[in-house]
Amino acid sequence: ELPPSHFPASRAAAVAVGYLRYLRGGPGRGLDLRALRRARRQDIDDVGHNYYLELELEDILDKDRTVNCTAEVLYHLGSKTSAPDVQVTLQGELWSTEEADKEFYNRIRSLEKELVAENIPDSHGRVPPELEPIRLLAWAASGYVIWQNSTENTKFHLAQVKHVKQVKRSDEDLQFDYVVLLHEMVSQELLPWEVTLLWHPQRGARVARDRRQPRHA
């Protein structure tokens, strides 16, 4: 049993939230961690450390909407290259965002010029309402990167969307090329990361391509 307020449990919780944001996030749905209720750790010989978590999540767009879930985060032993295995079970249905998704999809598809934006939120923490869905898709995109790159010695949060560019496609997906800034709590570093996100109202979000941006002086 682990104290939920201490860092080993809270780092694992951040991985679970990243994973869930990727899996279930969208332009109309942003999931945030409201509370980590309980945490347990199991050391499995020759495999790794398995964290079992009980979480309460809330909808960033409507804080009254919450959902409980359990998650398992397995960090593989001694591996710097493999992502933790994550499983999440929601206790209850997630609210539907079908209409908001459809509206957003149609709006973007009907744009004459491809959408381009930067610094979301801006220095003062502001996000223009029409860019809120773009920001929530960035949560999904960075959720993937956070899940794939976390270890027991890291804790990532999305600090800011540096840049986003829509790329029009001949198929039905929307494509957004993001540069996101990930804040890593332990080293305090800001890591710029390029992520190409595809999204479709029925098919959801998928990361097509991602890479850490090489450092310039």
Residues from 47 through 106 that contact other proteins (CB under 8 A): 60-64, 96-97, 99-100
Q: Where are the beta strands (DSSP E) in 60-151?
A: 62-76, 85-91, 116-120
- Residue from 16, 72, 160, 174 that binds other proteins (CB under 8 A)? 160
Q: For residues 179 and 181, what is the distance between their CA atoms, to the nearest angstrom?
A: 7
- Residue from 183, 196, 200, 204 that binds other proteins (CB under 8 A)? 183
- Residue from 93, 188, 202, 216 that binds other proteins (CB under 8 A)? 188
How near is the Cβ of 198 to other proteins at its closest, in Å?
Answer: 24
How near is the Cβ of 31 to other proteins at its closest, in Å?
Answer: 11
How near is the Cβ of 22 to other proteins at its closest, in Å?
Answer: 16
Q: For residues 50 and 40, what is the distance between their CA atoms, to the nearest angstrom?
A: 8
Q: Is 186 in the site for other proteins (CB under 8 A)?
A: yes
**Three-class secondary structure of residue 106 per DSSP:** helix
How far lies 34's CA from each of 37, 44, 215, in Å?
9, 29, 34
By rule CB under 8 A, what string of x and - marks binding of each residue 11-40 to other proteins? Answer: ---x-----------------xx-x-----
DSSP state of 129: G
- Residue from 167, 190, 208, 213 that binds other proteins (CB under 8 A)? 190
User: What is the dihedral sign for C-alpha 73, 76, 79, 85?
Assistant: negative
Q: Is 124 in the site for other proteins (CB under 8 A)?
A: yes
Q: Is 104 in contact with 129 (CB distance < 8 Å)? A: no
Q: Is 179 in the site for other proteins (CB under 8 A)?
A: no
Of all helices (H) and strands (E), which one includes residue 17? helix 7-24
Q: For residues 206 and 162, what is the distance between their CA atoms, to the nearest angstrom?
A: 20
Q: The tokens of 216 are what?
A: 């310039």
How near is the Cβ of 187 to other proteins at its closest, in Å?
Answer: 6
What does the binding site for other proteins look like in residue numbers (CB under 8 A)? 3, 5-7, 14, 32-33, 35, 60-64, 96-97, 99-100, 119, 121-126, 157-160, 181, 183, 185-190, 217
